[in-house]
């Protein structure tokens, strides 16, 4: 048991921390034999007690009982004026500003940056300053906390090559992203791709998160030392307001355990670098066992697109949460939530703790003082359960129901005033512009420093990647308002589109349905009308999928209803399609060309009779632009004609 803690001991400034980490290793390994995270229902009392309390070892790991090491140089006070962290947390908002912000529209400004492209800056609190990226950045000017100024270049070296290396330790994309993060503005970056720049983005937000935590903790530890030297008791001096109502400062939301594993590995490498001083990582073996994956578990010979392989790599369990405490030269994994600095969780893992109205066991006080919220791969939550994300956002930065032993003389005034949401920085990363993600950013991100959204429009659409010779008929339907679109689409489909396909000549018709609720509604209608159809969704058993695909290919079933989530999670090629109907435009633009190209799978000289019909309304502008390009989309939305034809694959 002790082998690992011993090998990673290194030279540590605080004996107490070292001792605590080893003791914690013993305790957790013992606990580990009894249960594993996520294997039991989250309501079980053992589970919650482990996540929220650890009375025996708390004092060793608590910030209150530790002091700043001499060699880490309490640089907090020396560089206060220029440090963006200090400027942000020390900024005092006034009641008048908060009231004005609630009623006034934001001031906006558009800029074009070299790498990020079109940016929209907005703020309700301050006059907009033109914010341009400098050509070169000096690491000193970024105010990175030790040891990050030396470890970052090594940790990030895999992305730097040739001329970039001499140009600093950031890639051009990372440089622009970090400048926005370091200014403590909210950020929405919708061009994060698992294939291209996902890891680059993960590196830079991990740097920002660990930098924030180290600075916040250094401030608390330095103030502990000052209070001790002045021999002050609890609540005796008002100058030491340096924390929130609860300890967790950073929440990182990721979709799978593999992503949590990579985030923790980055934290370790950022704190360690290549120094001879190894840091203590308690519970490391347990963590690797529960968050790592066995390469032999992957089924062989499954051919899937590259983007699928990049997203579904490693351990793809989506129910987890873990607390991480960081104390100078040690990292404690599986720290109880109220003793953690950073929480890493999936939306489902958080939802089962937050609970719902009327549930006895629920807790969301640990979200009360989150200063940095990072939501990575936001588009995947659209395919999991977007409601969990909305539920989380509704419980962020509420006043806690319990004091959790906080010393109120150390709590910042803006936290006591319940203004934490105006100081919380939110970083939102995803692979696409989507109305639901935009809505969360616009509604829940109200940081006083302002917001930045990357808004590049697609000039060419994914229709250009369709390789088959196919006429695409886009049919526009009218809807009075956003709330009536769902009903309008359904009635338009059953009254205008379906009658054209009920003839037996139009067999082998695949209907692609992005929303599961629309799928259920259509399935019920087809059953009631006794149409000859079969269906596949993400909940269909393997045997049911095989039967449905066989009946469709053989023409025994005329229609096949297919959900987008099934395509997202499985990427099967459906054979036998002759007629294609997109009930709604796909969430991911490349799914459009992927599904169209499935017609090639069984080409028996029927190309001349293939058809493709797409339904859209004016509320689908973003998705339409992603499929046909922004200029064509504008014409199709403004044109007096309701039907538009494209032909792909012409020789």
Sheet holding 117-123, edge to edge: 107-113, 117-123, 451-454, 186-189, 425-429, 372-375, 250-253, 342-345, 321-327, 330-333, 280-282
Sheet holding 533-536, edge to edge: 533-536, 559-563, 509-513, 579-582, 611-616, 470-476, 643-648
* Exposure on the CB side of residue 313, measured as CA atoms within 13 A: 14
User: What is the rounded average pLDDT of the residues 348-356?
Assistant: 92
Q: Is the peptide bond before 148 cis (omega within 30 degrees of 0)?
A: no
* Exposure on the CB side of residue 296, measured as CA atoms within 13 A: 0
Q: Rounded to a whole number, what is the largest CA-CA distance in the chain?
A: 90
Q: 567-578 pLDDT, tens per residue?
A: 999 999 999 999
Question: Tokens 């806690």 identify what position?
Answer: 400
pLDDT of residue 82: 79
Question: Tokens 């690797």 identify what position?
Answer: 288
Question: Token pair of 558, please?
Answer: 């005329």
User: What is the rounded average pLDDT of the residues 108-131?
Assistant: 86
The mean of the pLDDT values for the chain is 83
User: What is the rounded average pLDDT of the residues 146-161?
Assistant: 84
- Residues forming CATH 3.40.50.300 domain(s) in the chain: 85-229+237-296+314-454, 462-648
36 confidence band (pLDDT: 50, 70, 90) = very low
47 confidence band (pLDDT: 50, 70, 90) = very low
Torsions phi, psi for 282 (to 5 deg): -85, 145
Q: 278-329 pLDDT, tens per residue?
A: 888 889 999 999 999 876 666 656 788 899 999 999 999 999 999 999 987 7
Per-residue b or e along 83-103, where b marks 16 or more CB atoms closer than 10 Å to that residue's CB = bbbbebbeeebeeeebeebee
* Inter-residue contact 85 to 148 (CB < 8 Å): no
Alpha helices by DSSP H, listed for 511-582, are 516-528, 542-554, 564-570
Mean pLDDT is lowest, of 66-70, 360-364, 376-380, 546-550, for 66-70
For residue 102, the surrounding DSSP H or E stretch is helix 95-103
Torsions phi, psi for 333 (to 5 deg): -85, 155
Tell which wins on pLDDT, 607 or 16. Answer: 607
Whether pTM > 0.85 for this model: the answer is yes
* Exposure on the CB side of residue 569, measured as CA atoms within 13 A: 17
Question: Which of 3.40.50.300, 2.40.160.20, 3.30.70.100, 3.40.50.2000 would CATH assign to domain 85-229+237-296+314-454?
Answer: 3.40.50.300
DSSP category for residue 258: H
What's domain 462-648's superfamily in CATH?
Answer: P-loop containing nucleotide triphosphate hydrolases (3.40.50.300)
Q: Interior CA angle at 643 toward 642 and 645, to 5°?
A: 150
pLDDT of residue 162: 57
- 46: three-class secondary structure by DSSP: helix
pLDDT of residue 232: 59
């Amino acid at each position: 048991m002790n082998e690992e803690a011993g090998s990673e001991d290194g030279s540590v400034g605080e004996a107490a921390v070292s001792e605590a980490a080893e003791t914690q290793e013993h305790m957790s390994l013992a606990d580990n034999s009894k249960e594993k995270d996520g294997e039991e229902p989250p309501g079980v009392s053992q589970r919650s007690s482990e996540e929220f309390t650890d009375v025996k070892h708390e004092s060793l790991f608590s910030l209150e009982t530790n002091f700043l090491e001499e060699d880490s140089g309490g640089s907090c006070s020396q560089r206060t004026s220029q440090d963006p962290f200090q400027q942000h947390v020390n900024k005092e908002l006034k009641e008048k500003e908060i009231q004005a912000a609630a009623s006034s529209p934001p001031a906006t400004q558009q800029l074009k940056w070299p790498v990020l492209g079109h940016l929209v800056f907005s703020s309700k609190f301050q006059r907009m300053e033109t914010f341009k990226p400098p050509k070169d950045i000096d690491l000193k000017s970024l105010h990175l906390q030790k040891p990050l100024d030396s470890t970052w270049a090594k940790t990030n070296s895999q992305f730097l090559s040739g001329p970039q290396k001499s140009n600093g330790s950031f890639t051009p994309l990372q440089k622009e992203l970090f400048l926005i993060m370091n200014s403590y503005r909210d950020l929405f970056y919708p061009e994060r791709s698992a294939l291209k720049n996902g890891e680059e983005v993960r590196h830079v937000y991990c740097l920002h998160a660990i930098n924030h935590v180290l600075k916040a903790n250094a401030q608390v530890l330095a103030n502990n030392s000052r209070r001790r030297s002045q021999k002050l008791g609890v609540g005796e001096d008002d100058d030491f307001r340096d924390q929130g109502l609860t300890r967790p400062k950073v929440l990182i939301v990721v979709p799978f355990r593999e992503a949590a594993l990579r985030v923790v590995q980055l934290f370790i490498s950022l704190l360690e670098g290549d120094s001879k001083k190894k840091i203590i990582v308690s519970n490391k073996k347990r963590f690797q066992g529960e968050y790592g994956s066995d390469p032999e578990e992957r089924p062989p010979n499954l051919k899937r697109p590259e983007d699928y392989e990049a997203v579904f790599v490693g351990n793809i369990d989506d129910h987890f949460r873990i607390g991480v405490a960081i104390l100078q030269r040690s990292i404690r994994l599986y720290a109880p939530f109220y003793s953690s600095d950073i929480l890493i969780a999936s939306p489902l893992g958080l939802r089962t703790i937050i609970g719902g109205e009327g549930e006895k066991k629920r807790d969301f006080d640990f979200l009360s003082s989150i200063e940095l919220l990072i939501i990575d791969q936001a588009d995947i939550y659209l395919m999991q359960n977007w409601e969990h994300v909305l539920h989380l956002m509704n419980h962020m930065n509420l006043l806690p129901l319990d004091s959790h032993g906080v010393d109120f003389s150390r709590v910042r005034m803006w936290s006591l005033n319940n203004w934490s949401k105006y100081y919380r920085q939110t970083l939102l990363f995803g692979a696409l512009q989507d109305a639901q993600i935009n809505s969360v950013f616009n509604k829940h991100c109200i940081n006083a420093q302002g917001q930045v959204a990357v808004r590049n429009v697609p000039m060419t659409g994914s229709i250009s990647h369709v390789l088959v010779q196919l006429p695409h008929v886009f049919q526009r339907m009218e809807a009075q308002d956003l709330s009536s679109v769902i009903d309008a689409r359904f009635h338009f489909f059953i009254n205008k589109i379906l009658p054209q396909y009920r003839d037996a000549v139009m067999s082998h018709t695949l209907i692609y349905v992005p929303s599961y609720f629309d799928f259920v509604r259509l399935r019920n209608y087809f059953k009631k009308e006794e149409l000859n159809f079969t269906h596949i969704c993400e909940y269909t058993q393997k045997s049911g999928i095989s039967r449905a695909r066989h009946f469709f290919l053989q023409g025994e079933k005329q229609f096949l209803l297919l959900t987008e989530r099934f395509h997202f999670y499985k990427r099967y090629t459906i054979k036998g399609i002759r007629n294609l109907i997109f009930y709604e435009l796909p969430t991911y633009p490349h799914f459009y060309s992927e599904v169209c190209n499935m017609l090639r799978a069984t080409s028996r000289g029927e190309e001349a009779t293939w058809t493709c019909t797409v339904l859209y309304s004016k509320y689908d502008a973003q998705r339409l632009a992603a499929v046909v390009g922004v200029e064509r989309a504008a014409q199709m939305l403004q044109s007096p004609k309701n039907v538009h034809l494209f032909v792909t694959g012409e020789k």
